[in-house]
């Protein structure tokens, strides 16, 4: 048998060249480590954000209660939109919203909301002009008007867009009921109530018609009332506008930007 025809035997398996296994790069531990670090950074940021927001909120609440001489348990809600940490780093709080219900100042109480803008922390503190709103229900409006001469405050009601009041006029010994609808407005920081409509014994009547029947007796009721509220407020918070919305009276105030730095703006106003 020749070599060409002799059957060949395969090499033993242990002689064969074994394929070299490629080394796998295990990258996932690095990814996990990066994700863990990022998670810690995020957690630290939110923890710092919560701490900063809590400190500022409590500080503002304490200042409001202290400066307005409110009861220690007066609830004051403080809202600061956006990231407190970023705003602190920039040195300016873009906006601070304050609100509290049934706030009593002197003999008057109402629900108050205040919007302060551009409050600078490091240089001041100072702020840009802000705004405030006070909401009064019927009973609170009666309390506010109780000291106004000639105004029947006990009969005052609210019927948008007017303040209403009723009284009686005497004619030949008979008491004739008079209903008055008063339009509220603001003038030089005062609350102004101007007669808009009249009803005498349930019938519509003009101011001239009332004067013809009752003469000078009716004049105090037809000229309207001007109510000074400066005694209840800082000089830097003047009344800007008044309106009746549904069953409440809403008063809008400006907040002077120098209120934080000028003691004169924080002092209560006076009524002549």
The predicted structure's pLDDT at residue 25: 53
The predicted structure's pLDDT at residue 97: 92
Which distant-in-sequence residues (6+ apart) come within 8 Å of 70 by Cβ?
64, 76, 100, 103, 104
Which residue in 161, 134, 156, 158 sits closest to 146, CA to CA?
156
Report H helices in the chain.
Answer: 28-67, 84-90, 138-145, 207-214, 219-222, 263-266
Determine the Cα–Cα distance for residues 21 and 17; give it in Å rounded to an integer.
Answer: 12
Which distant-in-sequence residues (6+ apart) come within 8 Å of 44 by Cβ?
none
Chain-centroid distance of CA 161 in Å reads 22
Token pair of 257 as six digits = 């930007």
The SS3 of residue 106 is coil
Which residue in 98, 96, 99 sits closest to 87, CA to CA?
96
Under DSSP, the state recorded for 94 is: E
Length of the chain: 272
Token pair of 2 as six digits = 């020749």
Give the pTM.
0.77
Q: Which residue has the tokens 């506008």?
A: 241
The predicted structure's pLDDT at residue 34: 47
Q: Beta-carbon neighbour count of residue 141 at 10 Å? A: 22
Compute mean pLDDT per 10 residues along the chain, 272 residues long, and list them. Answer: 54 54 54 50 59 80 76 87 83 89 85 90 79 95 91 94 92 87 95 94 91 87 90 89 96 89 84 77
Token pair of 261 as six digits = 């730095």
């Amino acid at each position: 048998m020749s070599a060409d025809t002799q059957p060949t035997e395969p090499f033993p398996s242990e002689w064969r060249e074994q394929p070299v296994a490629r080394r796998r790069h295990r990258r996932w531990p690095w990814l996990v480590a990066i994700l863990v670090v990022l998670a810690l950074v995020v957690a630290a940021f939110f923890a710092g954000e919560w701490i900063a927001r809590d400190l500022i909120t409590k500080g503002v609440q304490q200042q409001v209660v202290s400066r307005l001489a409110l009861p220690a348990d007066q609830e004051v809600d403080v809202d600061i939109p956006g990231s407190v940490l970023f705003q602190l780093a920039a040195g300016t709080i873009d906006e601070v919203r304050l609100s509290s219900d049934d706030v009593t100042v002197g003999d008057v109480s109402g629900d108050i909301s205040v919007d302060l803008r551009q409050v600078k922390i490091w240089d001041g503190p100072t702020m840009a002009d802000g705004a405030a709103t006070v909401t009064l229900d019927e009973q609170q409006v009666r309390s506010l008007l109780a000291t106004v001469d000639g105004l029947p405050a006990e009969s005052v009601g609210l019927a948008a867009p007017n303040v209403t009041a009723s009284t009686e006029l005497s004619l030949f010994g008979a008491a004739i009921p008079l209903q008055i609808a008063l339009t509220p407005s603001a003038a030089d920081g005062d609350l102004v109530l101007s007669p808009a409509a009249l009803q005498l014994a349930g019938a519509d009547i003009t101011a001239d018609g009332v004067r013809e029947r009752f003469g000078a007796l009716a004049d105090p009721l037809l000229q309207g009332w001007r109510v000074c509220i400066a005694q209840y407020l800082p000089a830097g918070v003047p009344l800007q506008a008044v309106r009746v919305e549904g069953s409440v009276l809403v008063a809008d105030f400006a907040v002077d930007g120098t209120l934080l730095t000028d003691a004169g703006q924080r002092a209560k106003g006076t009524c002549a």
